[in-house]
């Protein structure tokens, strides 16, 4: 096979090479690895059990259908049953397990992958669609197999790159393994939650790679270049050599940066900047502390909240938040109430999808109260701060403040200990909030500026649609002016604004934020060190002048060019 | 070995339902049964008991298919399968 370079969109920086693990069913990521000789027969056995289970399920379904719908609808099930008896399928899988020592999940995928390919080669539309029957069976087999051997994601045996049509944020979280070195998806964009998590895990990712899956076999060696936004299949020796060098270079520069860990976060003209880290799940707090970050500027709680598929119980939430707060110790932690509406796994849904953020919480008050109670109950363990997501009117804010007071009163009546001084902040992430933050300032203790949404809504773009990605640009003159406005509106109140969107993670854009007057930034853990290095290399007075100049410019390209000239 | 050619008489060709019935029919005989498409360059050979292979023949209405069988009941098998393919016979109990 010749080397093939597939173009996508850079979604998480860095480069990696490893073996592809295909996840064509986002719910069913399987782990592929070579078996120890002693385990081979056990896998053949569990595969056969899964076939038998699947067969019984189908027969039962068929019997039910026959009594209700008559014979006609059962022929489809006949086809499924026949696939389970088909030696072209079953025997080949057993051979794969025995001869190539593939684990059973991998063997199923390898054989069905070959058959899928054969189907795709046939020029017959109706038949091509029949691959759905086989997919169905494969899914059933894998599910039935899974109940016998729950895969543990920690047991990846080699460097793996997860490849799927879409990959759910939760899948990525589950996979948290040091052997997961890259992520590739056919859909999605750098602003999807999956991308955000890949970045926070420091895993290179490329998204929007059309047609990467057809013909891709699990186990194939591929390269992911999250800097250039490309995926390379069948890389040549010389390409691999280049990437080996790049991977090594990154590791060296990381080590070098880690030496700068203890240096204070001040500009050259000795202005101290608060640099915090964002986290998406509770276990990330350890790496934040290891990086000596000064704050957790944004803890997006929806991932933990829904990690079990349904909302966590209050007790589990208390445990999560207590863990984060006690590990963070004296660092302030901005705990943002769940921002649903954008979470809900399906990345395909387009953006303004139902009520979001605070609107959702006000429509689901029991859920909102449960989370607030959990935060307050955990608040004795550290320095908690509550952030309300996606606020767009003062009325919503007033209603939320009432609920907060109600939760506190109830805890007090019940004699449950909590920190009465937990500050309350709001996210500025709608143009409405950006316009009215001066009015909100008297109602809250601080602000978080969520630039991802703010830019998207201000520039009228759909951030899940990667076609419009080049429209999403933090250097747009409108963005610059909007950010200046927020700073000017909030300044008189003396309340802090922590800028915690993706914009703060890009050193040149972050420099622009400093020039506008913002003194608190919060970035994903992976970007922390390079933003800190930028801060330590600039003179704030010069950035102020630079920003004044940028504010007179007419195009985003002009602005971006100029910033990058000054800040590398 | 017995061999004979048949022209697919099912209007939808050998698609899921017809293929499933063909597999069930083939399974009634002891002989090894193979189907090929002489017109196809890749000389695809399908085991008469493999639904996936039969579907991969992608034999539409009017396609010529060669049926071969080897074994004690090869003649009956080839006859029954060709009749089925040409649409002259349907399988007992099904329409």
DSSP A287: H
**Structural domain tally of chain B?**
1
> Strand A15-23 vs strand A160-164: parallel, antiparallel, or unpaired?
parallel
Contact with chain A for residue B1, Cβ under 8 A: no
Contact with chain A for residue B58, Cβ under 8 A: yes
Look at residue A521 in the predicted model and tell me its pLDDT.
96
Alpha-carbon distance A66 to nearest alpha carbon in chain B (angstroms): 14
Determine the residue of chain A that is closest to B15 in CA distance: A127
B60/A88 Cβ within 8 A = no
Within a domain: residue B75? yes
**Contact, A181 vs A18, CB < 8 A?**
yes
A87/B51 Cβ within 8 A = no
pLDDT tens for each residue of chain A, 568 residues long: 789 999 998 888 889 999 888 765 545 556 667 888 888 999 999 899 989 988 998 888 778 767 665 555 566 678 888 889 998 899 999 999 999 998 888 888 888 888 877 777 776 665 655 666 777 788 788 877 765 444 445 556 678 898 888 787 666 766 667 788 999 998 887 777 788 778 877 889 999 998 888 778 777 899 999 988 999 999 999 999 999 998 888 777 766 666 666 788 899 998 999 999 999 888 788 878 877 788 999 999 988 888 777 789 999 999 999 999 999 988 999 999 999 865 444 333 334 446 788 999 999 999 999 999 999 999 999 999 999 999 999 999 999 999 999 999 999 999 999 999 999 999 999 999 999 999 999 999 999 999 988 998 898 876 555 555 667 788 999 999 999 999 999 999 999 999 998 899 999 999 999 999 999 999 988 788 889 999 999 999 999 999 999 999 999 999 999 999 988 7
Look at residue A319 in the predicted model and tell me its pLDDT.
93
Give CA–CA dist A351/A460, Å, rounded: 11
Give CA–CA dist A114/A81, Å, rounded: 20
Look at residue A179 in the predicted model and tell me its pLDDT.
82
Chain A residues interacting with chain B (CB cutoff of 8 angstroms): 71, 75-76, 78-79, 82-83, 85-89, 115, 118-119, 122-124, 126-127, 130, 133-134
A126/B15 Cβ within 8 A = yes
Buried b / exposed e along A190-201 (16+ C-beta atoms within 10 A): bbbbbbbbbbbb
In angstroms, what CA-CA distances link A6 with A9, A170, A192, A237? 10, 26, 20, 18
Give CA–CA dist A263/A266, Å, rounded: 9
SS3 A14: coil
B94/A88 Cβ within 8 A = no
CA A552 distance to own-chain centroid: 36
Q: Two tokens at A313?
A: 């119980």
Catalytic residue (choose from B2, B9, B15, B64)? B15
Class of residue A333 by CB neighbours under 10 A (exposed 0-12, middle 13-18, buried 19+): buried
DSSP sequence for A78-144: HHHHHHHH-TTTHHHHHHHHHHH-B-HHHHHHHHHHHHHHHHHHS--HHHHHTHHHHHHHHHHHHHH
CATH for B6: 3.30.1340.10
Terminal C-alpha separation, chain A? 39
Give CA–CA dist A471/A317, Å, rounded: 38
Alpha-carbon distance B50 to nearest alpha carbon in chain A (angstroms): 5
A115/B47 Cβ within 8 A = no
Nearest to B52 among A71, A76, A134 (CB): A134
DSSP A272: B
The CATH number given to A37-150 is 1.10.274.10
Within a domain: residue B10? yes
DSSP sequence for A473-508: -TT-HHHHHHHHHHHHHHGGGT--EEE-SGGGGSHH
Q: What is the rounded average pLDDT of the residues B36-44?
A: 78
Class of residue A355 by CB neighbours under 10 A (exposed 0-12, middle 13-18, buried 19+): middle
B56/A122 Cβ within 8 A = yes
Give CA–CA dist A144/A164, Å, rounded: 21
Give CA–CA dist A113/A2, Å, rounded: 20
In angstroms, what CA-CA distances link A90 with A50, A147, A436? 11, 19, 64
Look at residue B43 in the predicted model and tell me its pLDDT.
65
Nearest to A76 among B13, B16, B50 (CB): B16
Within a domain: residue B22? yes
Interface residue of B34, B54, B55, B90 to substitute, partner A, most A CBs within 10 Å: B55
Averaged pLDDT of chain B: 85
Determine the residue of chain B that is closest to A134 in CA distance: B52
Torsion angle in degrees (nearest 10) through CA of A338, A342, A347, A351? 180
Within a domain: residue B21? yes
B48: domain range?
A: 2-86
> Strand A9-12 vs strand A205-207: parallel, antiparallel, or unpaired?
antiparallel
Q: How many Cβ atoms sit within 10 Å of the Cβ of residue A209?
A: 22
Q: Two tokens at A411?
A: 């805890």
Q: In the block, which residue shows the tokens 């086809």? A: A79
Give CA–CA dist A80/A74, Å, rounded: 10
> A-chain residues within 8 Å CB-CB of B47?
87-88
ipTM: 0.82
Q: How many helices (H) and strands (E) are present in chain B, helices listed first? A: 3, 4
The CATH number given to A263-425+498-566 is 3.20.20.60
> B-chain residues within 8 Å CB-CB of A78?
17, 20, 24
Give CA–CA dist A322/A167, Å, rounded: 30
Look at residue A348 in the predicted model and tell me its pLDDT.
36
Look at residue A6 in the predicted model and tell me its pLDDT.
93
Q: Is 0.80 topped by the overall pTM?
A: no
Within a domain: residue B79? yes
Contact with chain A for residue B90, Cβ under 8 A: no
Determine the residue of chain B that is closest to A132 in CA distance: B16
Q: Between vectors from CA A438 to CA A437 and to CA A443, what angle results, nearest 5°?
A: 80
Q: In the block, which residue shows the tokens 């759910």? A: A168
> A-chain residues within 8 Å CB-CB of B17?
75-76, 78-79
A87/B49 Cβ within 8 A = yes
Q: Two tokens at A76?
A: 């489809």
Within a domain: residue B30? yes
Give CA–CA dist A512/A503, Å, rounded: 10
Give CA–CA dist A169/A86, Å, rounded: 36
In the residue annotation, B10 being an active-site residue is answered as no
**H or E element in which residue A181 lies:** strand A180-185
Alpha-carbon distance B49 to nearest alpha carbon in chain A (angstroms): 7
Contact with chain A for residue B23, Cβ under 8 A: yes
Looking at the domain A4-29+154-253, which fold is it? Glucose Oxidase; domain 1 (3.50.30)
Look at residue A131 in the predicted model and tell me its pLDDT.
66
Look at residue A155 in the predicted model and tell me its pLDDT.
58
Q: Strand order of the sheet with strand B32-36?
A: B2-7, B64-70, B32-36, B45-47
Nearest to A83 among B52, B56, B94 (CB): B52
User: Where do the domains of chain A lie?
Assistant: 4-29+154-253, 37-150, 263-425+498-566
Within a domain: residue B93? no
SS3 A283: helix
At a CB cut-off of 8 Å and minimum separation 6, what does A211 contact? A6, A186
Nearest to A79 among B51, B56, B60 (CB): B51
Of A294, A311, A293, nearest in space to A302 by CA: A311
Look at residue B94 in the predicted model and tell me its pLDDT.
40
**Contact, A529 vs A506, CB < 8 A?**
no
Q: In the block, which residue shows the tokens 């880690």? A: A258
């Amino acid at each position: 096979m010749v080397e093939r370079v597939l173009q996508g969109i850079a979604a998480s920086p860095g480069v990696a090479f490893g073996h592809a693990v295909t996840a064509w069913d986002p719910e069913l990521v399987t782990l592929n690895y070579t078996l120890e000789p002693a385990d081979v027969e056990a896998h053949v056995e569990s595969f056969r059990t899964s076939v038998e289970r699947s067969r019984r399920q189908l027969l039962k379904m068929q019997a039910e259908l026959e009594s209700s719908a008559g014979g006609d609808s059962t022929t489809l099930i006949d086809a499924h049953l026949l696939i389970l008896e088909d030696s072209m399928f079953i025997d080949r899988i057993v051979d794969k397990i025995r001869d190539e020592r593939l684990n059973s999940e991998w063997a199923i995928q390898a054989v069905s992958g070959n058959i899928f390919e054969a189907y795709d080669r046939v020029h017959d539309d109706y038949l091509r669609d029949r691959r759905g029957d086989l997919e169905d069976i494969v899914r059933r087999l894998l599910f039935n197999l899974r109940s016998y051997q729950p895969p543990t994601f920690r047991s990846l045996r080699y460097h793996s790159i997860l490849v799927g049509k879409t990959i759910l944020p939760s899948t990525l979280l589950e996979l948290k393994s040091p052997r997961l070195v890259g992520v590739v998806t056919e859909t999605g964009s750098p602003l999807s939650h999956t991308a955000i998590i890949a970045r926070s895990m420091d895993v290179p990712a490329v998204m929007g790679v059309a047609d990467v899956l057809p013909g891709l076999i699990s186990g194939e060696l591929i390269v992911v270049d999250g800097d250039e936004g490309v995926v390379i299949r069948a890389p040549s020796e010389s390409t691999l050599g280049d990437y080996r060098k790049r991977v090594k270079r990154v590791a060296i520069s990381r080590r070098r940066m880690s030496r700068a860990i203890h240096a204070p976060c001040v500009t050259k003209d000795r202005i101290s900047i608060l640099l915090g880290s964002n986290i998406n799940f509770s276990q990330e707090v350890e790496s934040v502390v290891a990086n000596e970050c000064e704050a957790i500027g944004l803890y997006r709680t929806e991932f933990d909240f829904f990690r079990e598929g349904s909302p966590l119980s209050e007790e589990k939430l208390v445990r999560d938040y207590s863990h984060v707060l006690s590990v963070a110790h004296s660092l302030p932690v901005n705990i943002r109430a769940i921002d649903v509406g954008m979470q809900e796994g399906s990345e395909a849904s387009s953006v303004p999808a139902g009520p979001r953020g605070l609107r959702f919480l006000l429509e689901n008050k029991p859920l909102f109260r449960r989370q607030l109670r959990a935060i307050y109950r955990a608040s004795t363990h550290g320095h908690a701060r509550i952030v309300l997501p996606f606020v767009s009117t003062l009325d919503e804010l007033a209603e939320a403040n009432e609920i907060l007071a109600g939760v506190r009163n109830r805890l007090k009546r019940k004699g449950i200990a909590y920190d009465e001084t937990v500050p309350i902040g709001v996210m500025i992430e709608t143009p409405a909030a950006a316009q009215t933050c001066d009015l909100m300032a008297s109602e809250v203790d601080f602000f978080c500026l969520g630039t991802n949404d703010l830019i998207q809504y201000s520039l009228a773009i759909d951030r899940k649609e990667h076609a419009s990605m080049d429209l999403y640009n933090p250097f747009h003159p409108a963005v610059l002016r909007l950010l200046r406005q927020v700073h000017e509106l909030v300044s008189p109140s003396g309340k802090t604004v922590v800028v915690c969107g993706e914009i703060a993670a890009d050193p040149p854009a972050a420099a622009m934020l400093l020039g506008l007057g913002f003194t608190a930034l919060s970035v994903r853990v992976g970007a922390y060190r390079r933003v800190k290095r930028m801060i330590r290399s600039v003179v704030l007075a010069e950035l102020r002048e630079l920003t004044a100049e940028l504010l007179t410019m007419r195009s985003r390209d002009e602005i971006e060019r100029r910033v990058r000239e000054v800040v590398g | 070995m017995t061999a004979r050619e048949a022209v697919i008489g099912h209007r939808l060709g050998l698609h899921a339902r017809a293929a499933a019935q063909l597999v069930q029919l083939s399974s009634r005989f002891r002989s090894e049964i193979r189907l090929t498409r002489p017109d196809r360059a890749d000389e695809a050979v399908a085991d008469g008991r493999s639904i996936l292979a039969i579907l991969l023949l992608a034999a539409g209405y009017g396609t010529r298919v060669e049926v071969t069988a080897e074994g004690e009941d090869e003649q009956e098998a080839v006859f029954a399968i060709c009749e089925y393919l040409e649409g002259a016979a349907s399988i007992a109990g099904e329409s």
